[in-house]
Structure 1
Amino acid sequence: MPLPTLKEQFAALIATPSVSCTQASLDMPNQPIIDLLAGWLHELGFRCEIQQVAPGKANLLATFGTGPGGLVLAGHSDTVPFDESLWQTDPLKLTESGDRWLGLGVCDMKGFFPLIIEAVQPLLSQPFRQPLIVLATCDEESSMSGAKALADAGRPLGRAAVIGEPTGLKPIRLHKGVMMERIDILGQSGHSSDPSLGHSALEAMHAVMGELMGLRQQWQREFNNPQFGVPSPTLNLGCIHGGDNPNRICGQCALEFDLRPLPGMDPAALRAAIQQKLQPLAQRHQVRIDYKPLFGEVPPFEQSADAELVKVAERLTGHTAEAVAFGTEAPYLQALGCETLVLGPGDIRCAHQPGEYLEMSRLQPTVRLLRELIQHYCLEQG
């Protein structure tokens, strides 16, 4: 059976929903996407290994060639949830509009896989001195469980890894970490006419938020990296839920917040600093305070500026490697021994939004760039 065309591959991937979400009601398997990719890559002669991560959730490692070293071209196979009513087109149908392709995941980042296939096809008749590995992971948009499972397995991958997240074809060698945390306070409800009848979880949370904002100011004084557009770490108080009626002392309150540390900031040390602030507040307000991550953090990422992959990517793109605020799977691949870079055709400004698009003018430049990377790491290297 002939391989689908580039556009047909895009359409097939977009039409196969694979939402990853911390809310179980919205979460979906990614196995159908993995099966599609494995089928196409098997037709091209890749050896396809599927790593089961959880029921319905899997990673794909597809390898062409043998030996140590080589190149990993990586991406996640899941998308964020979507609200169809906010889209002007069908989010699960590849739609051409002017000079853009629209669809859920076309930019972030299912579209990277057809571009890899398009790039490698003309090279497959040549001898690969080092292998090419195509990696597709699950759950990047929620728990990072796919990348974590890969890292936990400890299996060495290639010498270099490129993750095709949306960077506008500019190489990215640094990004901030991502920590999403939750604080639950259990107080004592009671009649609002007499404060002595209870212990307000909401008032305790007010004090907690003050301490968090104080830590934010402290960290922003201590840590700064001008390579980032937002050069300091950020802490966003994202959502709060508590109480049920004005005439009751609030018995329960929960806060969820997002912390983006810079490279060099240790997530464990940040959590310890927060915990140290919470303990005296619990005693003062006579409440119970529970603090835990919503899920495991994504560590900050930095690849050295003098790494071979950085130099190669800068030469091929004509852009100096930069930094971004969003998190990726890069630290997990780096932990497996790969020089790692984030580099893909999409625009982060349209990711996670209705009307997600990919500029068609980026298609062929991406194919050329990937082909040159494959030639450098797999055909030319001894």
Structure 2
Amino acid sequence: MPFNLNRYTDFLRQLVAEPSVSCAVPRWDMSNQRVIELLANWLADYGFEVEVMPVPEHPGKFNLLATAGQGDGGLVFAGHSDTVPFDEGRWQSDPFTLSERDDKLYGLGATDMKGFFPVVLEALREIDLSKLTQPVMVLATADEESSMSGARHLVASGGLKARYAVVGEPTGMTPIHMHKGILMESIRVIGSAGHSSNPALGNSALEAMHEVMAELLDYRTELQQRYHNPGFAVALPTLNLGCIHGGDGANRICGECELHFDLRSTPGMHNDELREQISRRLTPLAQRRKVDIVFSTLFEGVDPFYQDLDSPLIKACERLTGQQPASVAFATEAPFYRELGMQTVVMGPGSIDQAHQSNEFIEIGQLAPAAKSLRGLIETLCMAETRIA
């Protein structure tokens, strides 16, 4: 079946035209409702049963789950409906008007990742849904670029049951079987201010923070001695001291100091355990220095993702794309689908090098092969007489 570029472009043009920025900064944050409504209408026209689900405690944010076929297995094509913020002054064209130049389609979200959904629609075109032996599902989530509230709600509600999941982030259709996790934390040390001429008049939060940072760097060394994964370009877990703020004058003892850091973990590590270990290390320091140490989460975090190379889904993707499985440094929603018990791969058209950039584009030449590979997954996993385990 030939790839219909005009049809693809029409779908993507409509998606790009609907702003759906998600951001922790309220003035940037937007609803994704119009994008969800477009996808819902198109998939309903394809014969899918469509459910639009509001994300609790996030007004204006919605997930979409569209299902065709029945069975206890099934394949999910999963993507997020939101984009990052943008700097219009750095764009050569309107970020919300899809434009074509040099065999590329430009627009906000063209690669990350509105461009994935029309590829899925093209893969589904002319498939006889009555011949499905296992269900095919299309999932669009909210807020992946900020809080990942959409995927978190799915896990909390148990509202998604399938055997396989394809997360269509831009990988050039390379099957990604693992990525690092991430957590971002704030540590606030509260001492007491006083005149700098007499140290007894206060209790320096800045001096205590100096010890906190030393403890964190020691902890980083221990983690890097315990964990090593040669499958990553940076094989070790990393911990970065990102920014620090404290005090208000050279002649005052610092009463309060705050540090922000991130930790990128490798498979086998878990964010909740990491937070607990850090807290346990710093508690004696707080007691000894007679300061309060207050933890807060800047970003709830994503655990590392790993899918066994020998799993049927990875093998099928390897065969259909002709590409060897690999790893990436960026985080995705994949760990949530693994938590729900699905074999999962991160794989979609486009390049992560274009994501979060001005003049974002997706290469037209990648689209037809991507649709062919996704269609092959449907035929292999959801139309075969004998289901792959």
TM-score category, normalised to shorter length: over 0.9
Q: Does 1:65 align with 2:69?
A: yes
In structure 2, list runs of 5 or more residues that go unmatched.
1-5
User: What SS does the corresponding residue of 2:203 show, helix, strand or coil?
Assistant: coil
Partner of 1:314: 318
Counterpart-to-counterpart distance in 2, 1:119 and 1:255: 47
**1:197 and 2:201 correspond:** yes
Q: 2:50 touches 2:67 (CA, 8 Å); kept in 1?
A: yes
Distance 2:350 2:161 in 1: 25
Match in the other structure for 1:45: 47
Q: Which of the numbers 239, 251, 271 marks the counterpart of 1:247?
A: 251
Q: What SS class does the counterpart of residue 294 from structure 1 fall into?
A: strand
SS at match of 1:182: strand
Counterpart of 2:336?
A: 332
Instruction: Give the whole-Å Cα distance in 2 for the aligned partners of 1:333 and 1:371.
Output: 21
Question: Deviation string for 1:355-375 (max 9, x for gaps)?
Answer: 222111111111111111111
Aligned partner of 1:30 among 24, 32, 36: 32
Amino acid across the alignment from 1:177:
G
Q: Deviations over 1:89-109 (max 9, x none)?
A: 322222222122222211111
SS in structure 2 at match of 1:135: strand
Give the aligned partner of residue 225 of structure 1.
229
Distance in 2 between residues matched to 1:378 and 1:167, nearest whole Å: 23
The aligned residue for residue 274 of structure 2 is 270
CA separation in 2, counterparts of 1:98 and 1:32?
Answer: 29
| Residues 284-293 or 361-370, more deviating | 284-293
Selected match of 1:372 from 376, 384, 389: 376
Contact kept, 8 Å, 1:130 with 1:381, in 2: the verdict is no
Name the aligned partner's letter for residue 8 of structure 2.
L
Please say which of residues 38-47 and 351-360 is displaced more in the overlay.
351-360
Distance change >3 Å, CA 207–CA 365, structure 1 → 2: same
> Which residue type is aligned with residue 136 of structure 2?
L
CA contact (8 A) 1:242 1:250 kept: yes
Shift of 1:56: 0.7
Asked if 1:172 corresponds to 2:172, the answer is: no
Residue 218 (structure 2) aligned to one of 214, 227, 237? 214
Tell me the alpha carbon deviations over residues 247-303 of structure 1, each in whole angstroms, 9 at most, x when there is no partner: 332222222211111111132322222112212222333321111322433111111
Q: 1:135 corresponds to which letter in structure 2?
A: L
* Offset at residue 179 of structure 1 (A): 1.0
Partner of 2:142: 138
Deviates more, 1:239-248 or 1:353-362: 239-248
TM-score, normalized by length of structure 1? 0.94
**Corresponding residue number in structure 2 for 1:20:** 22
Q: Which residue of 2 aligns with 1:298?
A: 302
Match for residue 9 of structure 2 among 7, 10, 35: 7
Q: What letter matches 1:340 in structure 2?
A: T
Q: Which runs of 5+ in 1 are unaligned?
A: none
Deviation at 1:156, TM superposition (A): 4.5
Contact 1:30–1:58 at 8 Å: present in 2 too? yes
If the length of structure 2 is used for normalisation, what is the TM-score?
A: 0.93
Instruction: Give the Cα–Cα distance (whole angstroms) in 2 for the partners of residues 200 and 89 of structure 1.
Output: 52
**Structure 2 residue identity aligned to 1:23:** V
Counting only pairs closer than 5 Å after superposition, residues 142-161 of structure 1 correspond to structure 2 as: 142-161=146-165
User: Once the two structures are aligned, what percentage of the paired residues are identical?
Assistant: 53
1-structure distance, mates of 2:30, 2:110: 18
- The residue aligned with 1:76 is 80
Aligned position for 2:3: none
Say if 2:87 is the partner of 1:91. no
SS at match of 2:366: helix
Q: How many residues align?
A: 379
Deviation sequence 1:217-259 (CA, Å, 0-9, x none) = 1111110000111111011222222223333322222222111
Conservation of the 8 A alpha-carbon contact between 1:189 and 1:249: yes
Q: In structure 2, how many angstroms separate the alpha carbons of the residues matched to 1:241 and 1:371?
A: 52
Find the aligned partners of 2:161 and 2:169 in 1 and give their Cα distance. 19
Structure 2: distance between partners of 1:125 and 1:132: 9
| DSSP-derived class of the 2:126 partner | helix
Question: Is 1:323 the counterpart of 2:327 in the alignment?
Answer: yes
Instruction: Give the AA of the match of 1:25.
Output: R
Q: 1: distance between equivalents of 2:230 and 2:345? A: 19
Moved segments of 4+, more than 3 Å = none
